[in-house]
Chains A and B, each alone.
Chain A
């Protein structure tokens, strides 16, 4: 039956062309044949890639098991008697995300880098950028297309790393690492590798040598807060007083002047982080997170905060805030640039992250030198933030890669060789950057902001120990904030746990739809009567199978408890 269906579906479309023409003779069969060819060849070539990948891991497992020296499994870079043979010249292809620098500074950097790489490992690097626009589609298409990229930027948080691994888009590199990326291999703890494993095998290179803690918060005007009699905004009550102060004393300013999108959950997240014990962990579904792990102590159970009584209170409060005018009445349909509003003093709040602050301080200084900015973090009350996964930014090797070994050798240098690190991270010294007497990184003389700007978008190679700090007038403020939040960091209690979503894919999609429909509207108080809206959301989530989803996740997690 299954075969019949498959055959029918294929035959219908393939033969349509043929059949039609056959009606008046002549070109009979052409369409059918060509369609078959397409099918065959796509099966053939993709099948081949899969097979050779499979062989690699089998063989290498064998060699590991018997404890013998690694003797070079694939192609062009064998290890012979403990020596890596790089006699064959190769070009490593790397895929990164981002708009390439306007002045082609990436290509100019490669002109300096490639001779070095050639000398060290007889290889060159070639970079392909996926521009930001429609990057989701283009990224998936690049993976589908079978282009032999050796290094591919990926992320477990925003580029579906594990989904792609489970669909065999990336290569198992477990056995190659010790030989071809020895520094990275030695410098990475087993706990960090654990986060890069899928079914016990390593598929990703972690971003583990750069400290960062992404915790959201609201940037606000400290100078205004003082006007309203507040030292600083440190709690939800303060936030409310601050907003009321704006409505009262700053005519024409909207406290949170933004337009909502389907991912608007600033206040929902704030509520979760301030008023509940929930933490966002591996059981959290989608961007709007209608489920979360129950607490740090009970981290192996998930539930939906939406079904708690507290959520109704939250919805009522948000309606009240919305009615008071904390945000525009048309928030869900408006097209407002929140940053411009904040910088121009038309908005009192700007939802931000530590990483955004550098830029925000600098821009505000230009706009209004008297303005003072501070940030109120969601995590302020409880002082606990689960550290980012080391695969938030990561690098993988494509399943179709032609030179995985040389690629790993290169990657090792990108992250651990000082000369190459500086070259890849900052560009050519004297052109893209210079170092002043105090050891700070500054703009060299004659530097043109547009034509000389350089950046490296394989973010996962960032390594704090090799960094040259940038000279920044606001560095002290940033340092202060970093010092404040650093102690909040809690190592992820979930370690290498990986949720297998294959059984609940439909539930996830349906839950996502319900959540993106209702949560932004409820958190902006724009869903009519709040209690009724909460009921609607709850029943939509029930219909979408949230119970089945929670049950499945808890079943998988209970093993880990």
Chain B
């Protein structure tokens, strides 16, 4: 293992020195051993045709054939593209939005305003996607939707949003922002609150403008948080947010599918009348492997550029 700040030592000696820290980590190590590592071999179920009598490891091995149906559908490329693009879009926009909110909060001086605004902004996080779906239909539907009512009031012709494929990436990104930004900004806000204030005071004394302060002191202080959160979210790059897509778009609006179908909705349609957990496990295994590769690659780059911020 790499030890950055200290000279290399024999492992026994290392262990002795590390003992008190290892003991502090022991609850976590045991916890993850039991709840995460112990069940891990169970992923084998992805590669077998399950047999109740034989158990996971005794069932006949079928390799990757539990995944063959995705290739047969001819949609693999489109699904992977959509899933990744949506995730990239979600991650990028929500990171920017969350930082923006945190920065503004840091600048705004009215405490009561801050307090209420922040409380309101995290409300959407508590509404289930079922309700988000209901609300988005209230806004976008063709008959008496809020959007079309407004359009009609201005004399414009109504738009059938549920037939406009091009509109959906934007709508979904906005919904994702609406739902998660307030909650997500808390991490950044807390990071700002914990930041070293001396530099800020010094900058003020030196006559730096607000924008300079933000640009040269506040923002850079968020860098480790940004990078860590980015790296963490990249692991799920091939996982689509099923609840969002299913409840807001529906899983079988053919007209929108080219721009709204992701791996999860596809699998939902395919599995609707056969509950084969091997297939589900196989798909999620591939998603995880892909996520791992992306994270490793990104981490490699981060390590080159900014070694301190690398995950490992």
- How near does chain B come to A251, taking the closest CB pair, in angstroms? 13
A39 vs B37: C-alpha distance when bound (angstroms):
12
Q: With an 8 A cutoff between CB atoms, is B201 at the interface?
A: no
Q: Which residues of A contact B268 (CB under 8 A)?
A: 262
List residues of A (281-296) whose CB comes within 8 Å of B's CBs.
286-287
Asked, given contacts A17-B37, A35-B41, A137-B275, whether A513 binds B73 with beta carbons under 8 Å apart, the answer is yes
Which residue, B40, B162, B255, B270, has most C-beta atoms of chain A within 10 A? B270
A39 vs B57: C-alpha distance when bound (angstroms):
7
Q: Which residues of A contact B209 (CB under 8 A)?
A: none
Decide: B275 and A140 in contact? CB cutoff 8 A. Answer: yes
| Chain A-chain B contacts (Cβ-Cβ < 8 Å), number | 201
Decide: A513 and B44 in contact? CB cutoff 8 A. Answer: no
Decide: B141 and A330 in contact? CB cutoff 8 A. Answer: yes
A2 vs B47: C-alpha distance when bound (angstroms):
12
Q: With an 8 A cutoff between CB atoms, is B266 at the interface?
A: yes
Asked, given contacts A137-B275, A333-B162, whether A521 binds B253 with beta carbons under 8 Å apart, the answer is yes
Decide: B69 and A513 in contact? CB cutoff 8 A. Answer: yes
Which of B12-20, B183-191, B228-236 lies at the interface with chain A? B12-20
Q: Which residues of B contact A334 (CB under 8 A)?
A: 137, 141
Q: With an 8 A cutoff between CB atoms, is B54 at the interface?
A: yes
Fill in one digit per residue for B87-126: 1 if any A CB lies within 8 Å of its CB, else 0.
0000000000000000000000000000000000000000
A24 vs B278: C-alpha distance when bound (angstroms):
36
Q: With an 8 A cutoff between CB atoms, is B212 at the interface?
A: no
Q: Which residues of B contact A163 (CB under 8 A)?
A: 274
Decide: A13 and B56 in contact? CB cutoff 8 A. Answer: no
Q: Which residues of B contact A136 (CB under 8 A)?
A: 275
Decide: A330 and B15 in contact? CB cutoff 8 A. Answer: no
Decide: A46 and B53 in contact? CB cutoff 8 A. Answer: yes
A137 vs B52: C-alpha distance when bound (angstroms):
15
Residue of A with least CB distance to B70: A510
Q: With an 8 A cutoff between CB atoms, is B207 at the interface?
A: no
Fill in one digit per residue for A496-509: 1 if any B CB lies within 8 Å of its CB, else 0.
00000010011111
Fill in one digit per residue for A37-75: 1 if any B CB lies within 8 Å of its CB, else 0.
011001101110110010000000000000000000000
- How near does chain B come to A124, taking the closest CB pair, in angstroms? 26
A9 vs B282: C-alpha distance when bound (angstroms):
13
Q: Looking at the complex, which one of B41, B249, B271, B277 makes contact with A39 (CB distance below 8 Å)? A: B41
Q: Which residues of B contact A516 (CB under 8 A)?
A: 251-252, 269-270, 272
Residue of A with least CB distance to B270: A513
List residues of B (40-76) whose CB comes within 8 Å of A's CBs.
40-44, 47, 49-58, 61, 63, 65, 68-69, 72-74
Residue of B with least CB distance to A144: B52
Q: Which residues of A contact B143 (CB under 8 A)?
A: 328-330
Decide: B33 and A17 in contact? CB cutoff 8 A. Answer: yes
18 more A-B contacts (CB under 8 A) besides A329-B160, A334-B141, A512-B270?
A10-B44, A13-B37, A14-B40, A21-B29, A23-B1, A24-B11, A26-B22, A42-B55, A330-B160, A333-B249, A333-B250, A335-B137, A507-B72, A512-B272, A513-B270, A517-B269, A521-B255, A544-B72
Binding site for B on A (CB under 8 A): 2, 5-6, 9-10, 13-14, 16-17, 21, 23-27, 30-31, 34-35, 38-39, 42-43, 45-47, 49-50, 53, 136-137, 140, 143-144, 160, 163-164, 167-169, 260-263, 286-287, 328-330, 332-335, 399, 502, 505-510, 512-514, 516-518, 520-521, 526-528, 533, 540, 543-545
A-B contact pairs, 17 of them (CB 8 A): A24-B1, A24-B18, A31-B37, A136-B275, A286-B274, A330-B142, A330-B162, A505-B276, A506-B68, A508-B274, A512-B269, A512-B270, A512-B274, A520-B252, A521-B254, A526-B254, A544-B69
